[in-house]
Amino acid sequence: MRAREPARSGFVERGGVKTYYEQFGEGEPTVLFVPSSPIMHSQQWKGQVPYLAGHFRVVTFDGRGNGRSDRPNAAQAYADEEVIADTLQVMDATGTNQAVFVVLCHAWWVLALAAAHPERVLGLIAIAPAVPLAPVHPNRAKYLESFDELRDTYEGWAKSNRHYWLKDWRGFVTFFFGKMLPEAHSTKQLEDIVDWCLGTTPQTMLLNRDAAHFPRTKEEAEAVCRRVRCPVLVIHGDRDECQLPARGEAVAELTGGRLVIVKGAGHVAPGRDPVVVNMLIKDFVESVAEPKPRHIIWERAMQRPRRALFISSSIGLGHVHRDLAVARELRALIPELEITWWAQHPASVVLEAAGERMHPKSHLQALESAHWEEESTQHDLHAFYAFRRMDEIFLANFMLFHDITRETPYDIWIGDESWEVDYYLHENPELKIAPYVFMTDVIGFLPVDAANDPREAELTADYNAEMIEQRARFPYLRDLSLYVGEDYEELPDAPFGPGLPNIREWARQWFEAVGYIVPFDPAPYRDTDALRMRLGYGRGYPLVMAAVGGTAVGRHLLRRVAEAVPLLREEVPDARVVMITGPRIDPRELPDAEGLEKRSYVHNLFEHLACADAAIVQGGLSTTMELVAAGRPFAYVPLRRHWEQQNYVSYRLSHYGVRTRIDFDQATPDRLAATLQALLTQRPVYREIKPGGAQRAAERIAALLKRG
């Protein structure tokens, strides 16, 4: 899912060639992201657009030759003057008189545009500009002259060749952008770029190569740069193998612009260092824009109440209850602590119902649960790939987090599986300006299908390696790493990947275990009769509960449960099944049946599960562990390719003595009915969950805020 959808999109047409554009956000000025076309299209700015559209008006377009734009079949159609004319027409069509231009690599024609049309260019950010002011990178130069010739070998940079392009375009772009991304752990960026490159063809690229581009010589380039009057910012990675940093330096010098060198960065800083690039763009745009009247309130330090920001991950509803339990305990220790919640729907529904204070900008976050729903079909959520494809949502939400933590000073950030915050803080450790607590019950990724999908095994190992390296390099970044579990034996006994540490051993070294956090005291829930009376279910019949958490992923399981109800009632005629669909599934979508009641939301779901004689749930950790705590018989159906439900939750549940796991493929209505019938007669014996997890977590957190 995209982190932000355009407010408006459309096409402009020139000489029969259509160019697709998108427009986001409002307000002055406009930031125009120029595509590096035709090799890439506007998606190359996916890390920038959502954040900057929150502050300015943003326009992007697909250059001719890629994306949704046309691919004319003549070299002259790709000449710079054509692309400049397209750009101006996109500006006209979107009502953009003036814009700050942002370009990666293809700066030569943008500089020409700025020189020829100064009234349209408020400022220019040239990232890794390709302008012939300094030599071509020696690696590329070697094969430039013989680009059109047949070669004996196409190893390495020799791939930069007309014949190789035509033979293996994917091979070329994979090699080329592999070199453009020398930074470790760039698999996702490379995969994205290769995908965008496959949006064009080598034939189109060759037409573009033969088109008239300007300037050809160093002298022409200097003349163009000197004519640029607007403010200029140049950003250049010092490991750029496409454009030598000397080119960026020369552009900055000749235009009187500012130069920012990103050490350790390659050619694609917007993709690989999006946080720093976004902040540079925002600062630059603000500095060239007309100042706007604003009122900023700064509180003197000693004036500030003690404030905590609680980042409650919202993929399901599971964490929010344990977070509320921790918050309760924290308030008992520090009564004056003001807790503000940074959470999204559906967790925000629970928090608001509990009378908690949401951060007023929480709702601006890109919706993670919508992404998970879009990614899941038929009880099948490949959680790792879905997580991986969430990169732009994570980034957009981190940028928002960054902004709100500069607007209000918090005494502490508490993140419950706050993946985006944790990852990007490690990538940008200077942005940590408060004590930071990270808590989690899952540590690392494990492949769900290593045998058939070696790529998944490689990628999960790479993610784990990156996490391990980040922790080792910046151990101070987290002031506390809390493991929500009692015993590291609850974790899989497996390495993080080939040559990587064992998960249990590493967790023991890098985390503090606070015990599993059950958001309620299970003792009163053992008297199911009283509970059933209080919740209005009444006594004297077998009560079955079915719930799938807060997202719509569980729709298919609920449908099968609904189909199982008549079968169950053939054997147990007085059985009643109550189904809690959660806020994102409409009960009307599911079949009706005698003895089946569907409810979309109940307050304190665990109370309802706890009074059931048997329950059927997904493999979400919180819900299953609550059933363990309440001592209820239940079956769980893990999502098919969900690394956490398949590995971590199953490990933990078997540690606590839960035996009834059903794989979705086997979860036919017959099997479900039979399982429920069997569960109704069982009194399971589970390992005890030690109470006090929330209190232990709160004590450790409070120690960061207060002494004595």
Nearer to another protein, 197 or 404 (CB): 404
Q: Which one, of 199, 209, 194, 210, lies nearest residue 66 by Cα?
A: 199
**Among residues 263, 296, 336, 499, which is the contact residue for another protein, using CB under 8 A?**
296
Assess 229 for contact with another protein (CB under 8 A).
yes
Q: Which stretch binds another protein (CB under 8 A): 15-23, 285-293, 339-347, 631-639?
A: 285-293
Which SS3 state, helix, strand or coil, does residue 348 take?
helix
48 neighbors 77 (Cβ within 8 angstroms) = no
Q: In the bound complex, what is the minimum distance in angstroms from residue 253's beta carbon to another protein?
A: 14
Q: In the bound complex, what is the minimum distance in angstroms from residue 280's beta carbon to another protein?
A: 12
**Among residues 73, 145, 155, 297, which is the contact residue for another protein, using CB under 8 A?**
297
Q: In the bound complex, what is the minimum distance in angstroms from residue 339's beta carbon to another protein?
A: 21
Assess 303 for contact with another protein (CB under 8 A).
yes
Q: Which stretch binds another protein (CB under 8 A): 227-235, 313-321, 532-540, 668-676?
A: 227-235
> How many Cβ atoms are within 10 Å of 385's Cβ, its own excluded?
17
State the residue for tokens 């729903």.
Answer: 373
Q: Is 684 left (phi over 0), alpha (psi -120 to 50) or beta?
A: beta
Q: In the bound complex, what is the minimum distance in angstroms from residue 125's beta carbon to another protein?
A: 12
Q: Which one, of 78, 11, 89, 23, lies nearest residue 56 by Cα?
A: 23
Q: Are strands 17-24 and 57-61 parallel, antiparallel or unpaired?
A: antiparallel
Q: In the bound complex, what is the minimum distance in angstroms from residue 287's beta carbon to another protein?
A: 4
- Subset of residues 385 to 424 that bind another protein, contact rule: CB under 8 A: none
Nearer to another protein, 122 or 491 (CB): 122
Site for another protein (CB under 8 A): how many residues? 23
Q: DSSP letter for 536, please.
A: T
**Among residues 284, 488, 516, 648, which is the contact residue for another protein, using CB under 8 A?**
284
Q: In the bound complex, what is the minimum distance in angstroms from residue 263's beta carbon to another protein?
A: 22
Amino acid at 327: A
Q: In the bound complex, what is the minimum distance in angstroms from residue 307's beta carbon to another protein?
A: 14
Site map (CB under 8 A) of another protein, residues 238-257, x = contact: ------------------x-
Assess 300 for contact with another protein (CB under 8 A).
yes
Nearer to another protein, 261 or 333 (CB): 261
HEC readout, 452-469: CCHHHHHHHHHHHHHHHH
Q: In the bound complex, what is the minimum distance in angstroms from residue 684's beta carbon to another protein?
A: 57
Q: Which stretch binds another protein (CB under 8 A): 280-288, 398-406, 517-525, 606-614?
A: 280-288
Report H helices in 433-518.
454-473, 503-510
Q: Which helix (H) or strand (E) holds 77?
A: none
Q: In the bound complex, what is the minimum distance in angstroms from residue 262's beta carbon to another protein?
A: 19
Q: DSSP letter for 198, please.
A: T
Q: Are strands 307-312 and 121-127 parallel, antiparallel or unpaired?
A: unpaired
Distance CA 497, CA 458 (A): 8
Nearer to another protein, 255 or 440 (CB): 255
Assess 305 for contact with another protein (CB under 8 A).
no
**Among residues 11, 75, 81, 118, which is the contact residue for another protein, using CB under 8 A?**
118
**Among residues 76, 97, 287, 377, which is the contact residue for another protein, using CB under 8 A?**
287
Q: In the bound complex, what is the minimum distance in angstroms from residue 296's beta carbon to another protein?
A: 5
**Six-digit token string for 547:** 């719930």
Cβ within 8 Å of residue 213, ≥6 positions away: 79, 80, 108, 109
Q: In the bound complex, what is the minimum distance in angstroms from residue 118's beta carbon to another protein?
A: 7
* Residue 513 exposed, middle or buried by CB count within 10 Å (0-12, 13-18, 19+): middle
> How many Cβ atoms are within 10 Å of 403's Cβ, its own excluded?
16
**Among residues 68, 227, 258, 559, which is the contact residue for another protein, using CB under 8 A?**
258
Q: Which stretch binds another protein (CB under 8 A): 226-234, 448-456, 569-577, 645-653?
A: 226-234
Nearer to another protein, 202 or 248 (CB): 248
**Six-digit token string for 82:** 């054509």
Q: Which one, of 224, 189, 149, lies nearest residue 40 by Cα?
A: 189
Assess 102 for contact with another protein (CB under 8 A).
no
Q: In the bound complex, what is the minimum distance in angstroms from residue 289's beta carbon to another protein?
A: 9
Q: Which stretch binds another protein (CB under 8 A): 292-300, 473-481, 636-644, 693-701?
A: 292-300
**Among residues 3, 77, 230, 280, which is the contact residue for another protein, using CB under 8 A?**
230
Q: Which stretch binds another protein (CB under 8 A): 224-232, 566-574, 580-588, 677-685?
A: 224-232
Q: Which helix (H) or strand (E) holds 247?
A: helix 245-255
Q: In the bound complex, what is the minimum distance in angstroms from residue 119's beta carbon to another protein?
A: 9
**Among residues 5, 286, 589, 592, which is the contact residue for another protein, using CB under 8 A?**
286
**Among residues 293, 305, 355, 360, which is the contact residue for another protein, using CB under 8 A?**
293
**Among residues 15, 16, 155, 294, which is the contact residue for another protein, using CB under 8 A?**
294
Q: In the bound complex, what is the minimum distance in angstroms from residue 23's beta carbon to another protein?
A: 25
HEC readout, 308-343: EEEEECCCCCHHHHHHHHHHHHHHHHCCCCEEEEEC
Buried b (16+ CB within 10 A) or exposed e, 81-100: bbbbbbbbbbbebbebebbb
Buried b (16+ CB within 10 A) or exposed e, 196-220: bbebbbbebbbbbeebebbbeeeee
Nearer to another protein, 292 or 588 (CB): 292
Cβ within 8 Å of residue 5, ≥6 positions away: none
Q: Which stretch binds another protein (CB under 8 A): 53-61, 63-71, 223-231, 641-649?
A: 223-231
By CB under 8 A, name the binding residues for another protein: 118, 229-231, 256, 258, 284, 286-288, 290-300, 302-303
